[in-house]
Structure 1
Amino acid sequence: MQKPAPSMLRNKGRARCRGILGPPRLACRSLASKEILMAELAAPSAPRFEHRTDRGPVRGVTTASPRLSWSVASAPEGYVQTAYEVEIARGGATSRWVVESSEQILVAWPDAPLASRDVAVVRVRVRGTGWSPWSEPGIVEMGLLAPEDWSARFISPVGIGGLRQAAPEVRGTVQIDARVVNARLYATAHGIYTARINGVAVDDTVFAPGWTAYESRLRTRVYDVTELVLSGENTLDVTLGNGWWRGRFGFLGERALYGDRLAALAQLEVTTADGAVHVLGTDETWRARSTGILSDDIYDGQTTDLRFSPDTPFDRPVETVEADLGILIGEDGPPMRVTEVVPAVSVSTSPSGRTIVDFGQNLVGWVRLFARGGRAGDEVVIRHAEVLERGELAIEPLRSARATDTYFLSGARAENLAPSFTFHGFRYMDVTGLAELRVEDVEAVVIGSDLERIGWFSSSHGMLDQFHQNVVWGMRGNFVDVPTDCPQRDERLGWTGDIQIFAPTANFLYDSAGFLTSWLGDLAAEQDERGRVPHVIPDILRTELTSSPAAAWGDAAVIVPWTLWERTGDRGILERQLPSMKAWVDCLRIEASDDLVWRGGSQYGDWLDPTAPEDDPSRAKADPDVIATAHFARSAQIVAWAADVVGDSSLAVEYATLAASVRAAFVREFVTASGLVFSDAQTVYALSLHWGLIEDPALRARAAARLADLVRSSGFRIATGFVGTPIVCDALTDNGYADIAHRLLLQTQVPSWLYPVTMGATTIWERWDSMLPDGTVNGSGMTSFNHYALGSVIDWLHRRVAGLAASSAGYRTIAVRPVPPKGLTRAAASHRTPYGIASVAWSREGGEWMLEVEVPVGVTAEVQLPWGGSASVGHGLHEWRVVEPTAERTAPKTIRDIVDDETRWLRLVEVSSLMGVIDSDARIARLLEPMYDHPAAELGEAVWTRIWPSATAKAAIAKISD
């Protein structure tokens, strides 16, 4: 999973440093070697189809005219693509098309649309002044596009496999008497399934077909099983699990939300050397049996009887089940797989005598355990938890989820224990029923959507790097076919608010485009005729309360597609989602009053603001009407922008006018003449500033100053919930308060981003204080140790601390604008853009500040240095060196100056504590807030006058002001 540090990443383009503006001390030099200067135009990468990231042939595509993308690894200086040529071989014929265009991302399919089962081999080459070599071929293979392509029908066992019964398995057989040249399996299920041909798994995926809005969209998968089908009789076995379809699911304790019967749909098509096509499809001739999987639930775990014999006969009938084959769809993103195996780091005994295993990392998956010496029928029980409390598994955060796997041993001398139809969120496990367990006998199997890592960050700050790594693991554990809110308790739902704020971060860290495209398809399918967006997608809650419009949550319908456009350049996603986007904003027009202020309703507000009561996370300091109206303005503006991108000018004007009117209503209703925003919370200022709701420059300046004062008065602790957390640092940085943002970022006291790191966290917590400083679990009844939402700030970390950002859709141009924190000596970020790797790395040493930028072919970088100077550069590797200005140390004029000087501030806190006046920096900050504009000499009157003699107070002030 680890990739090279960004500073080690190179391409072969010539570095150029032109158009530099700034003082004479600014220097730029090319890192290009003579060899690089002579770089030839490289062959493009093998073409990519839509957003698929498959390794090898791309199968199961159901877009008849798949768009193509490629990148170019190296090119001569000054290269610009002027044309591309596409070669397509299909059906025994090869055709070529030359297109005069500089585009290389998601370009149109030039050939006739593909039909079901079609295979095409595609190559591309590009032209600058001359043609490049041809790319390696990309292979695309179509799935079944129409219901009539299916001769198979859904089948379900009769008399077995019911609710709370053992998992069923169905079998079909086919006789093949000629040499097999090609074999494909097309499959899906009501429930989740595994498939085997002649006893061998058809692939390495898990939990197929995943979770979608099953009533409207059911995914199918295509398997190349040519190597598994033999001459003679062949068996196809499909084992069915409850999964999301029929298991206990949702915190209301319901079961069988989509149906009370499991069913399989499978169609095996085998082509032999004589040209014949043999088809084995699920129908009434198949037979069924019960398996040794006695029970399986996502929440509760799996019970497995290992005494089950594989020779047990298939002696039960099946029957066909009515189902709409018109809702079958292909895959937009990657399937779920085992992505890593983590060995145990310790085995210990808890205070109560239980055997505890620590894997050193909070993760999602299951335990694989090697058991030896057990007797037939011995029961082994494995429980899972994210944290320990007083040395025991902390199971309270699981709520009603049992998260327990049980095995009845077969009596073999040694056997492997692992489930197949459940997963857990855990770092720790305990086990009973084993006489002996060695650390080498147990490992954690990590599962999730098999996303490709494309973004990295590193710095000189170890805790900050750990925080970033925690976000990565949080995303891995919660991108399990849909973007979930937590992987361990009786929930694991696709909350729209969580992914709305996290989508920019997700798209930097991993190639999430296909994954989120699929989820947005579910969102559009679940959106009702009034434009309302359920709070979870897919919608299993289905209540009036959780379908009513909620700001920030329903806005996912608009913000997530726009984020995908910004990060991938996929105009098609806007074309597809624009009706859904528009419908949401039209819904808000009705929700808002005639004055365009959205008041009331079922709002989550600034969810989990640290000041909110434990039992009511929506009661944040930020007023919910401010948040709602801000989102109304933002979403209306995005619809206008999206309409402009897709070429609907009248719609763009309509919604731009609406957005402007809502912004005016926001200021009229919530902003005072002095720049105060109603409810005076960090989040309301962050929204107002970062989304441009306050357009008057003087008002903006006053609002920004107030936001900075709020952060100061919190003792540089975070005071935002889900809504404000992703943007508060942007609002500060973009309005001249970067140092305040940096101190907020590097704070370690609770609440802060780094506090969980000090407590040993390896993922992002749901609450700022999911674990209290004394090591006990927050007793709110709703806390998770694996939520990604509060980690969404790392998008700002990538863009402004490291300094790597897209400045036009799909990274066609990038903005390099690092704002280096004083607390770091280096930072770096790299991202595999649609055009190739872009990276930024800066460091400071000996008074010199160095910036290294890598720009992929086809991209232009606009570089802005922190102390003045800018440049526009093309592809290649570039470096700048600048003498970092030394700030003159002057005596503080105001109390605010003392607070803003971190050295003096820490001295103030230290002196206060030592003299026994105030031992809390947060309390001192609150006490000083009304006096920020007072002269520094009045500090004693603000803090100590009533406690210390005047002379002592003056001496302390002198020490601090030194």
Structure 2
Amino acid sequence: MRTIFLFGLLALITFFSYLPAYAQKIDLFDLKVEHQSNPLCIETTAPRMSWKLRTELNNTSQKSYEIRIGTDPKGIMSNKNIVWRDFKNTAQSVLIPYEGPALKSGNRYYWQVRITDNHNNTSAWSEVQTWQMGIGTSDWTAKWIALPFPDTTKTSPLFRKTYSLNKNIKSATAYISARGLYEAYINGQRIGDAYFMPGWTSYKHHIQYQTYDVTKLLKKGNNVLAAMLGDGWYKGRIGFNDQKEFYGDTRALLLQIEVLYADGSKQILSTDDQWKTALGPVLASDIYDGEIYDARLEKNGWTLPEYTESADWQPVRLMDYSYEGLIGINSPPVKKQEHFKVKSISRTPRGELIVDFGQNLVGWVELKAKGASGTKITLNHAEVLDKEGNFYTTNLRTAKQQNIYILKGTEQVFSPHFSFQGFRYLKVEGYPGELAPEDLTAVALYSDMPQTGTFETSNPLLNQLQHNIVWGQKGNFVDVPTDCPQRDERLGWTGDAQAFFNTAAFNMDVSGFFIKWLRDIRADQHTNGSIPFVIPDVLRSNDAGAAGWGDVATIVPWGIFYAYGDTRILEDQYNSMQAWVDFITSKSQKHLWNTGFHFGDWLFYRPDDDNDGRAAVTDKYLIAQCFYAHSTQLLANAAGVLGKTKDEEKYKAQLERIKHAFQQEYLTPNGRLVSSTQTAYVLALQFDMLPENLRQQAANRLVENIRSYGNHLTTGFLGTPYLCHVLTRFGHTETAYDLLLQETYPSWLYPVKMGATTIWERWDGIKPNGTFQTPSMNSYNHYAYGAIGDWMYKNMAGINPDEVGYKKIKIEPRLGRGITTTSASLDTPYGIVSSSWTLENGIFKLSVSIPPNTTATVIMPARITNTMEEQGNEKIIGSGSYYFESKIE
């Protein structure tokens, strides 16, 4: 069917809607509980269920749903052992809460859902899905075990015990945690495929345990449970000034397996005083420095039942650690992801043997080697080579990023156990014989977040920029959102995370990742409401309370709510959000936050010899006042969502006073800001700090400033995320495109032109002459400036949430200089929305796909000039695939 629409007088829109001649079957897919697929550890007493609709019939929405939950996977399909049913006439299909009888800890539950759509089609029951409840403190019988002597060694301890199981096994569930990091085994098989467990949390408040289905690993007869521990974040070096043992000085293991036999009886296998321990071949492991592994010290077969323990295996020591603070994992674990082959092997001018993997990544190198016993191979890791092509590690500061392997005489494949590196290049020393490309593989490791977004344009440099943004995210989302993954830092800097959140949520499903991290923000938040600079907090007690950093407490919860439709995150974080805003208020004078330490517009561009009044220095208290207003606004919004009417009114009134104070302190009567910088105007406009009648002229001043710098940006970590958004909001999308497409320093594409494969910490991490910026702080994998990705998705492709969780969608692509095609997609809580357009000979062609159970508003571009833009009229559509055409004047 072909339909013609006239969009005002500016554009003729041609609209195609393809409808099948018969009603299509509807089915359900991508079922989740608490943002996870078939999770094994749910702690909430009211788990929430979500599903997506799939159909070829356009304009489809859900009219009602029916859920059934039982305790038996087969019985549920015949309506047996049902614990709860729910039927509602509603279009809600995201995060439906369980409201049945109390759920039992450790129990597994099975559920199905079916829906009826607005065309009166009823789906079949979905495939049976499952979740398992976590366990509480009273469910633990295992004991914390450690080395029998003070844990002063860096060598990783091994633990093992043999158990005899004499019945047929129906199921078995393992619960494991550690102080330090663990790898666990049953009968020689590794338990799970996650790394760096139990993950990094605010250990002083809570430590995660992991749940595994180990039914297939156990057998009737003798079974060996085994584990190895590393220092990790718990005991190893973390933070600054060679800080060690921040959380504790003793590595310890906690392991418990609940076995259910076919006859209905149960047995618990757990760490106790009968376990044995010995030191293993990992002589040292450190997050910053890497790992030393001596294969000659391997205890061959120590994880197998037939192994005979020698005299160096000693009884363990029981540690008097509490079960309080043990929490089930609720975030995606770190796993192996992409594998990279060697791009080249060469010698540098200094004669160094260098391997190039072609991509700056985070993970490790798997090395295959065979040589005489005692041969030592050293692998050093670096992000870049220097101007002459030599290996460069000065920017790592004190981090060694070095793995050492000592051979035992047989061929082996080596990789670290409890450390990771940030690198593109590898310097190999001591390798016996000729190093061949097939001897090395680089493995990327990061939190296992599904990719949700795709983005591509006709400009290869922009495509590389998108690639760099994604790989900056991958490399720094290793259990916590770190600032950098290579030097002696790798901390969860709050300013970086809040600046990048919106982009992160386009690229990947970061819901569980950030929900886990927000729990640590609550835990480490000071009693006065101040937020530490890094989470988990490993800095000094006064390293907290900075504008744009502490505001992570309001920005990220609101971001999760809006991206995923998750109201509960606002409930969980509300007290933290409120405490942060109230902290700022306590430090303010007459509603003006002009006290305390602030980072300001961190790493902004500043010319070396700029004496004409344009220097890009923004008053730090002006910035603080803007974020004070922003957090207050978000708190008022959250109060409104949660029905806290008095709080909402209170903070709305407070917001007006904050803005008035800003105008009195930082704004002249004619609309100029005391700091006439890009960041000052960007933040003032983004957060509506100016009277409405002065906003457009302020935006025009921003454009004048950008033009005066030759279409270059001068913003830092706090101004950059909003820069292009503000320009577009006030009709200057062409200027935004000029900034985005700028190829010389400072710009997003300058690092791309310089060969970057990730986002740099500094606009000029490598200078045009090939030399480096300040080496003490010059990371080449630092995602904050990748925040431009949010604007690219929302404005180039035009994909925007028009309602919380993408229940309503807005497709509003905006054209720019020289871009002839843009294509993007996003897997929303309801399914995939896509937008793909081409511009040729003045004809704009747009194809969109809208997921079932949503609606969208499509707004076509109409006219472009050198300074301003105009958008055409809009069309509201239901789910389905559509095609539009428009003539651009």
- Quote the Cα distance in structure 2 between the aligned partners of 1:38 and 1:27: 27
Which residue type is aligned with residue 51 of structure 1? H
Aligned to 1:533, what secondary structure does the other structure show? coil
> Alpha-carbon deviations, 1:443-481, whole Å to 9, x = none?
101101011100111000000010010000000000000
Aligned to 1:582, what secondary structure does the other structure show? helix
- CA distance 1:230–1:829, change in 2 (3 Å): same
Contact 1:606 1:620 in 2 (8 A): no
- CA distance 1:805–1:516, change in 2 (3 Å): same
Contact 1:535 1:553 in 2 (8 A): yes
Aligned to 1:443, what secondary structure does the other structure show? strand
Which residue type is aligned with residue 132 of structure 1? S
Partner of 1:956: none
Contact 1:386 1:428 in 2 (8 A): yes
Partner of 2:251: 262
Q: How far did 1:218 drift?
A: 1.0
1:137 aligns with 2:121: no
Q: How far did 1:309 drift?
A: 3.1
Aligned to 1:26, what secondary structure does the other structure show? strand
- Quote the Cα distance in structure 1 between the aligned partners of 2:860 and 2:656: 33
Which residue type is aligned with residue 561 of structure 1? P
Partner of 1:946: none
The 5 A counterparts of 1:197-276 are 197-276=186-265
1:49 aligns with 2:54: no
- Quote the Cα distance in structure 2 between the aligned partners of 1:47 and 1:417: 38
Partner of 1:896: none
Which residue type is aligned with residue 154 of structure 1? W
1:729 aligns with 2:729: no
1:648 aligns with 2:628: no
- Quote the Cα distance in structure 1 between the aligned partners of 2:775 and 2:461: 27
Aligned to 1:815, what secondary structure does the other structure show? strand
- CA distance 1:308–1:582, change in 2 (3 Å): same
Partner of 1:955: none
Which residue type is aligned with residue 239 of structure 2? G
> Alpha-carbon deviations, 1:79-120, whole Å to 9, x = none?
332211001121560253211221111111132232112111
- CA distance 1:847–1:861, change in 2 (3 Å): same
> Alpha-carbon deviations, 1:478-526, whole Å to 9, x = none?
0000000000000000000000110101111100011100100000110
> Alpha-carbon deviations, 1:724-780, whole Å to 9, x = none?
101110111111111111000000101100000011000000000111112222134
- Quote the Cα distance in structure 1 between the aligned partners of 2:316 and 2:4: 73
- Quote the Cα distance in structure 2 between the aligned partners of 1:38 and 1:213: 56
User: Which one of the candidate residues 792, 798, 801 is aligned to 1:797?
Assistant: 792
The 5 A counterparts of 1:480-879 are 480-544=478-542, 546-547=543-544, 549-594=545-590, 596-611=591-606, 621-697=617-693, 699-867=694-862, 868-879=872-883
- Identical columns (%): 39
1:84 aligns with 2:68: no
Contact 1:209 1:221 in 2 (8 A): yes
1:422 aligns with 2:396: no
- Quote the Cα distance in structure 2 between the aligned partners of 1:771 and 1:531: 39
> Alpha-carbon deviations, 1:266-313, whole Å to 9, x = none?
001112223221211111111101000000001000000011232463
Q: How far did 1:76 drift?
A: 3.4
Aligned to 2:381, what secondary structure does the other structure show? strand
Q: How far did 1:41 drift?
A: 4.3
Which residue type is aligned with residue 68 of structure 2? E
- Quote the Cα distance in structure 2 between the aligned partners of 1:316 and 1:451: 41
- CA distance 1:583–1:432, change in 2 (3 Å): same
Aligned to 2:357, what secondary structure does the other structure show? strand
* Greater strand content: 2
- Quote the Cα distance in structure 2 between the aligned partners of 1:872 and 1:693: 33
- CA distance 1:822–1:765, change in 2 (3 Å): same
Partner of 1:152: 142
- CA distance 1:16–1:48, change in 2 (3 Å): farther
Which residue type is aligned with residue 353 of structure 2? T
Which residue type is aligned with residue 840 of structure 1? S
- CA distance 1:199–1:17, change in 2 (3 Å): farther
Aligned to 1:382, what secondary structure does the other structure show? strand
Moved more, 783-792 or 98-107: 98-107
Aligned to 1:59, what secondary structure does the other structure show? coil
- Give the TM-score taking structure 1 as reference length: 0.87
The 5 A counterparts of 1:8-157 are 21-23=7-9, 25-32=11-18, 35=20, 38-52=22-36, 54=37, 57-74=38-55, 76-90=57-71, 93-94=81-82, 95-128=84-117, 129-144=120-135, 146-157=136-147
The 5 A counterparts of 1:103-502 are 103-128=92-117, 129-144=120-135, 146-159=136-149, 162-311=151-300, 313=310, 315-372=313-370, 374-389=371-386, 390-412=388-410, 414-434=411-431, 435-502=433-500
Q: How far did 1:142 drift?
A: 1.6
Q: How far did 1:78 drift?
A: 4.0
Moved more, 863-872 or 832-841: 863-872
Partner of 1:958: none
- Number of aligned pairs? 854
- Give the TM-score taking structure 2 as reference length: 0.94
Moved more, 133-142 or 337-346: 133-142
Aligned to 1:131, what secondary structure does the other structure show? coil
> Alpha-carbon deviations, 1:34-75, whole Å to 9, x = none?
54x5342412225310122x4xx3212222321011110126
- CA distance 1:384–1:17, change in 2 (3 Å): farther
Contact 1:245 1:256 in 2 (8 A): yes
Which residue type is aligned with residue 851 of structure 2? P
Q: Which has the larger radius of gyration?
A: 1
- CA distance 1:17–1:433, change in 2 (3 Å): farther
- Quote the Cα distance in structure 1 between the aligned partners of 2:395 and 2:200: 24
Aligned to 2:316, what secondary structure does the other structure show? strand
Which residue type is aligned with residue 570 of structure 2? L
- Quote the Cα distance in structure 2 between the aligned partners of 1:78 and 1:488: 49
Contact 1:123 1:136 in 2 (8 A): yes
Partner of 1:8: none
Unaligned ranges ≥5, structure 2:
73-79, 301-308, 610-614, 863-871
- Quote the Cα distance in structure 2 between the aligned partners of 1:630 and 1:309: 58
- Quote the Cα distance in structure 2 between the aligned partners of 1:114 and 1:27: 54
Contact 1:26 1:880 in 2 (8 A): no
Q: How far did 1:675 drift?
A: 1.8
Q: How far did 1:815 drift?
A: 1.2
Partner of 2:866: none
Q: How far did 1:245 drift?
A: 0.3
Q: How far did 1:346 drift?
A: 0.5
Q: How far did 1:20 drift?
A: 6.0
- Quote the Cα distance in structure 1 between the aligned partners of 2:298 and 2:572: 50
Partner of 2:303: none
- Quote the Cα distance in structure 1 between the aligned partners of 2:599 and 2:30: 46
Contact 1:802 1:820 in 2 (8 A): no
Aligned to 2:40, what secondary structure does the other structure show? strand
Q: How far did 1:167 drift?
A: 0.4
- CA distance 1:200–1:724, change in 2 (3 Å): same
Q: How far did 1:674 drift?
A: 2.1
Contact 2:587 2:595 in 1 (8 A): no
- Quote the Cα distance in structure 2 between the aligned partners of 1:114 and 1:823: 58
- Quote the Cα distance in structure 1 between the aligned partners of 2:320 and 2:518: 27
Q: How far did 1:25 drift?
A: 4.7
Q: How far did 1:153 drift?
A: 1.6
Q: How far did 1:209 drift?
A: 0.6
Partner of 1:882: 886
Q: How far did 1:232 drift?
A: 1.2
Which residue type is aligned with residue 811 of structure 2? V
Contact 1:381 1:433 in 2 (8 A): yes
